[in-house]
Structure 1
Amino acid sequence: MLRTLDVVLVVAMVAAATITYQIKHAAEEKLAEVRELQAEIKLQEETIDLLEADWSLLNQPSRLQQLSTAFEAELGLKPIAPEQMAEPDELPGRASDFEPQIAEGVTDAELTTGSVQP
């Protein structure tokens, strides 16, 4: 005859085995997801490397010079003359030179950043 304690221990052992199997299965699924994400990351990194190489090839000065010469007439391209460059004193004023524009009727409390009026 089986004692009650023996039955309880067998049930506990079966439950523990079931939980262990479920945890193992979930861990294997997560590991598969991680490997899939790593493969996607590697593919994206390779794509970025390829695009950067393509970009550097397209931006070679000799290639750009050939293109500008070939399409000079169609695009109306001309070399930049030195007098086209602006001197610093010819530029409009700096942001600190301008006075802030405040709407009429606005109080200092309403101008505080982050203030909320109920």
Structure 2
Amino acid sequence: MLRTLDLVLVGAMIAAATVTYQIKHAAEIKLEEVADLQAKIKLQEETIDLLEADWSLLNQPSRLQRLSTAFEAELGLKPIDATQMAQPDELPGFASDFAPKIAEGETDATLTTGSVQP
């Protein structure tokens, strides 16, 4: 009887050791995956920082002015005249078009909207 109990306990210890090893191995694999993802994230962040720096360098007003002066003849660039701007009567709507409409018999205080009922 003692020998059977010993064999059962030894078998349980071996099973527990096997499960523990498998869990440890799976955790190490996941840890490697996390480290790999963190490295990829860091690389992407550094790439974004580099691209933002490049973008700000390319959009410097002095650089753009120098390029527009250099390629003015080829591109047909010229300064904007004040007359090229739209006149108020050329705009699509007036402020009065967007004012709330008041029905007969209502005042501003009794004006109802679709969401508020008096």
So what's the TM-score if we normalise by structure 1? 0.74
Displacement after TM superposition at 1:83 (Å) = 1.6
Give the superposed CA RMSD: 1.8
Code of the residue aligned with 1:92 in structure 2: it is: P
Cα distance between partner residues in 1 of 2:87 and 2:31: 61
Runs of 4+ with deviation above 3 angstroms: none
Displacement after TM superposition at 1:6 (Å) = 1.2
Instruction: Name the structure 2 match of 1:11.
Output: 11
So what's the TM-score if we normalise by structure 2? 0.74
User: What 5-or-longer segments of structure 2 have no aligned partner?
Assistant: 98-118
User: What 5-or-longer segments of structure 1 have no aligned partner?
Assistant: 98-118
After TM superposition, the structure 1 = structure 2 runs for residues 1-118 of structure 1, keeping only pairs within 5 Å, are 3-93=3-93
Instruction: Name the structure 2 match of 1:109.
Output: none
How many residue pairs end up in the alignment? 95
- Identity score, percent: 84
Cα distance between partner residues in 2 of 1:87 and 1:35: 60
Cα distance between partner residues in 1 of 2:87 and 2:7: 94
